[in-house]
């Protein structure tokens, strides 16, 4: 008897992360590999990002990261960080802590939310991680964020001639974006998220931390088996 092809399913995943969190970067990298494998099996994976700030309310006056870690957590934190960078390199991550800058991430999360509305959130998140950890870019700087958005194809909004009316509309939209993001940050903490990453896969208990790829793939496959097919 001829074997029937497996029916495709849609798996929905929510990921709480921060783009200056190295465990989020490693966890998200492992997740993307697992998701690519599930997609290669004929299933769809829909990803939603939940914002989380490691340093709520932190400013965007960038400082070199390693001296900040040493000042706040002590020399052992720097040693642990550099050891982790060596371990991450075995999984293909290029972490240059000597370039990394400490900064707040509120504006980066605002950009991710905008990218999500344009269907480019996954690409935007990956680019922000790489910008911070590999390129040593200041991802709290509006000009840098605008350039990164352009690389990914995320637009700022409607184009057209600059007028007083359009400027007022842009300001109102920015105010609304800020309010939505503050509310979402509060909502995510209300879910019990106190550290990141956290993976919420349909039908599975939350997976916290930079889980192995095999664990993430197993959760995705179980969700695909349980999801409506079509």
Task: Judge whether 210 lies within some domain.
Answer: yes
pLDDT of res. 3: 39
β-strands 198-201, 63-64: how paired? unpaired
- The yes-or-no verdict on residue 157 having pLDDT over 90 is no
Instruction: Check residues 4 and 102 and name the one with the higher pLDDT.
Output: 102
Please state the rounded mean pLDDT for residues 149-160. 79
- Stated pTM of the model: 0.90
Please state the rounded mean pLDDT for residues 2-20. 82
Domain that holds residue 188: 10-226
- The yes-or-no verdict on residue 104 having pLDDT over 80 is yes
Please state the rounded mean pLDDT for residues 87-100. 94
Number of other residues whose CB lies within 10 A of the CB of residue 52: 26
What is the SS3 string spanning 141-195? CHHHHHHHHHHHCCCCCCCCCCCHHHHHHHHHHHHHHHHHHHHHHHHHHHCCCCC
Identify the CATH number of the domain in which residue 218 sits. 3.40.30.10
Task: Judge whether 5 lies within some domain.
Answer: no
Among 140-144, 154-158, 225-229, the range scoring the smallest mean pLDDT is 154-158
Task: Judge whether 72 lies within some domain.
Answer: yes
Task: Judge whether 2 lies within some domain.
Answer: no
Task: Judge whether 206 lies within some domain.
Answer: yes
pLDDT digits (tens, 9 = 90+) for 202-214: 989 999 999 999 9
pLDDT digits (tens, 9 = 90+) for 123-132: 999 999 999 9
Instruction: Check residues 57 and 82 and name the one with the higher pLDDT.
Output: 82
pLDDT of res. 6: 60
| Residues 44/8, Cβ–Cβ less than 8 Å | yes
Three-state DSSP at 229 gives: strand
Please state the rounded mean pLDDT for residues 173-195. 94
Task: Judge whether 3 lies within some domain.
Answer: no
Task: Judge whether 193 lies within some domain.
Answer: yes
Domain count, the chain: 1
pLDDT of res. 59: 86
Q: How far is CA 10 from CA 47, 189, 214, in A?
A: 11, 27, 19
């Amino acid at each position: 008897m001829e074997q029937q092809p497996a029916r495709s399913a849609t798996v929905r995943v929510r990921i709480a992360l921060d783009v200056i969190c190295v465990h989020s970067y490693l966890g998200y990298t492992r997740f993307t590999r697992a998701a690519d494998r599930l997609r290669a099996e004929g299933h769809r994976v829909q990803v939603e990002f939940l914002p989380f700030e490691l340093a709520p309310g932190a400013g965007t006056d960038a400082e070199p990261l390693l001296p900040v870690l040493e000042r706040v957590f002590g020399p052992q934190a720097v040693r642990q960080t550099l050891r982790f960078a060596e371990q991450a390199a075995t999984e293909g991550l290029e972490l240059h802590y000597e370039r990394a800058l400490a900064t707040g991430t509120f504006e980066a999360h605002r950009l991710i939310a905008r990218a999500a509305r344009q269907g480019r959130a996954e690409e935007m998140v990956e680019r922000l991680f790489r910008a911070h950890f590999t390129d040593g870019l200041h991802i709290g700087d509006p000009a840098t964020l605008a350039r990164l958005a352009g690389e990914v194809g995320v637009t700022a909004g409607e184009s057209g001639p600059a007028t007083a009316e359009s400027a007022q509309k842009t300001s109102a939209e920015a105010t609304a974006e800020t309010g939505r993001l503050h509310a979402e940050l509060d909502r995510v903490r209300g879910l019990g998220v106190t550290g990141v990453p956290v993976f919420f896969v349909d039908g599975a208990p939350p997976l916290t931390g930079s889980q192995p790829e095999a664990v993430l793939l197993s959760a995705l496959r179980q969700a695909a088996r349980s999801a409506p097919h079509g």
